[in-house]
Amino acid sequence: MVSYQRPQGLLRLFGALQEQQLPEPAPELRVVVVDNDAAGSARELCEEARRWLRFPLEYRIEKRRGIPQARNRALSEALPRADFVAFVDDDEAPDPGWLAALLRVQADSGADAVAGPCLPVFEEPPPSWVLAGRLFERPRRETGERVGTAATHNVLLTTRALAPLPRLFDERMALCGGSDDEFFRRFDAAGHRIVWADEAVVREWVPPSRARLAWILRRAFRIGSSAALVEGRLADTPVTRRRQLAHALWCMAKGSALALSALPRGFGPCVREARLAATGLGRLAGLAGFTYREYRVLHGS
């Protein structure tokens, strides 16, 4: 797991790992924490957790600031000595059956990666319009369904599929987000299969600073700008750029129209639709070369 100045979240995550209900025979597990704070702010907490966590814990520091840099460091620690690598974020806590479900679906499907759902838990009651608009809900799928991408907030990968890849997470995308989407799209294009495990649930703690209109629309804008960056790096041709431009304009037009039509249903549904317009605007900005470095600002602790 990768962590940056979230001691409360990291402690909560350790507690959830302690409660994992493993299959029999139980696999040999090892927890690797990569601290992306050059000052090593998570060291003391990790040393204390070693005394009670039932799994061996290894602590490493990645001084180069960036999400893909820290993920690559985690993989460099795990690849030589593991059959599987599971990623989860430091603002999340997996349900007790999380890891067992990921392993079960992998065994049943033979997939190279297994992804699961991430459900929101609000640290404080959010505004009613946030709930009405279902603004923190993510799509869910049937267990075993093949998907074209995944996210490192909840995924299990086989090291046999990772080992031959020419590169892992793109370190040029240090703080702008989207490096996991870029990686898994290349992973899928290389012929590696990603499937869904709907029972492998993790829960993400949402701080009050994220349950706000400004953050919600900025997140949609960032998703659009990083998507343009990812698509440009996967296939940067005049044809794909024209296609991206058309898609950005379509998102802006359709999102604006849907937001207006949703007004009678309330502010939350209106914001839900307006995110599409913000994503389109982000795509347009990304096509113009603008990079929004969302992860310069830390939310939650």
Domain containing 132 — which CATH number? 3.90.550.10
Asked whether residue 44 falls in the same domain as residue 137, the answer is: yes
The answer to whether residue 301 is domain-embedded is no
Asked whether residue 140 falls in the same domain as residue 251, the answer is: no
Domain coverage including residue 278: 212-296
Closest of 181, 155, 174 to residue 85, by C-alpha: 155
Asked whether residue 19 falls in the same domain as residue 64, the answer is: yes
Asked whether residue 135 falls in the same domain as residue 277, the answer is: no
Give me the number of domains the chain comprises. 2
Handedness of CA 252, 254, 260, 263 (dihedral sign): negative
How confident is the model at residue 196, as a pLDDT? 98
* Cα(69)–Cα(110) distance, integer angstroms: 29
Write phi, then psi, for 118 (nearest 5 degrees). -130, 115
How confident is the model at residue 79, as a pLDDT? 87
Query: Is 252 exposed, middle or buried, given 0-12, 13-18 or 19+ CB atoms closer than 10 A?
Result: buried
How confident is the model at residue 245, as a pLDDT? 93
CA 127 to chain centroid: 24
| Residue 80 DSSP class | G
Write phi, then psi, for 243 (nearest 5 degrees). -65, -40
How confident is the model at residue 109, as a pLDDT? 97
How confident is the model at residue 293, as a pLDDT? 80
How confident is the model at residue 296, as a pLDDT? 75
Under DSSP, is residue 261 helix (H, G, I), strand (E, B) or coil?
helix
* Cα(85)–Cα(91) distance, integer angstroms: 19
How confident is the model at residue 240, as a pLDDT? 86
Query: Two tokens at 294?
Result: 């969302």
Report the relative pairing of strands 202-206 and 118-122 from DSSP bridges.
parallel
Per-residue pLDDT of the chain (301 residues; tens, 9 = 90+): 899 999 999 999 999 999 999 988 888 999 999 999 999 999 999 999 999 999 999 999 999 999 999 999 999 998 888 999 999 999 999 999 999 999 999 999 999 999 999 999 999 999 999 999 999 999 999 999 999 999 999 999 999 999 888 889 999 888 888 899 999 999 999 999 999 999 999 999 999 999 999 999 999 999 999 999 888 878 778 888 899 999 999 999 999 999 999 999 999 999 999 999 999 999 999 999 888 887 776 676 6
Q: What residues are paired with 196 via a beta bridge? A: 115
Last residue of a domain, one of 190, 207, 224: 207
* Cα(202)–Cα(154) distance, integer angstroms: 7
